[in-house]
Amino acid sequence: MFCQNIFVIFLLIVKQKLCCACDRAEYEIGGECCPMCSPGTRVYRHCTEFTSTSCVPCIGSTFINKPNGLITCFPCTVCDQGLGVKTAKECTASSDTVCGVLEGNYCVDPYEGGCRAAEKHTTCKPGQFIKRPGTQNTDVVCENCRENSFSNGSSTSCTPHTDCGSRRLRTLRPGDGVSDSVSCMWINRETGHPVPMIQQI
């Protein structure tokens, strides 16, 4: 009998808890389940036993993007060009500002649908080429030129050094990663001696 009474009390407690759980479209305040305000509005006055929730629109640079039981709206995000971002979509009462990336930058602090901060794409150095161009979400990837080629750092591939020997030219200065070979003399086919190019004109 004692166990049966305990079981009944337990069921009553569970039933009470279940009956008092607020619906998904409600919020709990002071033991009451109040209807939520719709996106773009906030609670002006909580519900009572006899009245429903009173809601008012978010005004100024504020918003709420979900059904809520909040008494204040969130401040709209400000897109700071000093952080490499710009306003891509203006804030409304029911949606926050969407910040996009300024040209020549990539996002380093993304959030749902936008970007809080961006940095400038890496500039490849002379002797390197752009292996993968930068996007709004990724930085530029640079890679060193292979042997016998050069680049000023702004191209997507390296240029092979001029092969002076194959042109019967004498190399004045060998090429390196940042510049081509320099040749200014022809090789006389008969004598094998270099001849200044001015004499070939």
Lookup: tokens for 168 = 């019967």
Q: Domain for residue 4, yes or no?
A: no
- Does residue 156 belong to any structural domain of this protein? no
Query: Which token pair is 191?
Result: 């004598």
Residue 151 located in a structural domain: no
Per-residue pLDDT of 20-38, as tens digits, reads 589 999 999 988 899 999 9
**Domain count along the chain:** 3
List the structure tokens of 196: 């200044």
Of residues 16 and 53, more confidently modeled: 53
* 69, 90: one domain: no
Higher pLDDT, 184 or 44: 44
Considering the domain boundaries, does residue 152 fall inside one?
A: no
pLDDT over 90 at 1, yes or no = no
The answer to whether residue 17 sits within a structural domain is: no
d(CA 137, CA 109): 10
Helices (H), 21-169: none
CA proximity to 66, closest of 87, 39, 46, 29:
39
Q: What is the mean pLDDT of the chain?
A: 83
Mean pLDDT of 1-15: 43
pLDDT higher than 80, residue 158:
yes
Q: Evaluate whether residue 52 is within a structural domain.
A: yes
Report CA dihedral (112, 113, 118, 124) to the nearest 10 degrees: 110
Structural domain harbouring 36: 24-75
Summarize pLDDT for 103-130 with one digit per residue, the tens: 999 999 998 889 999 999 999 999 899 9
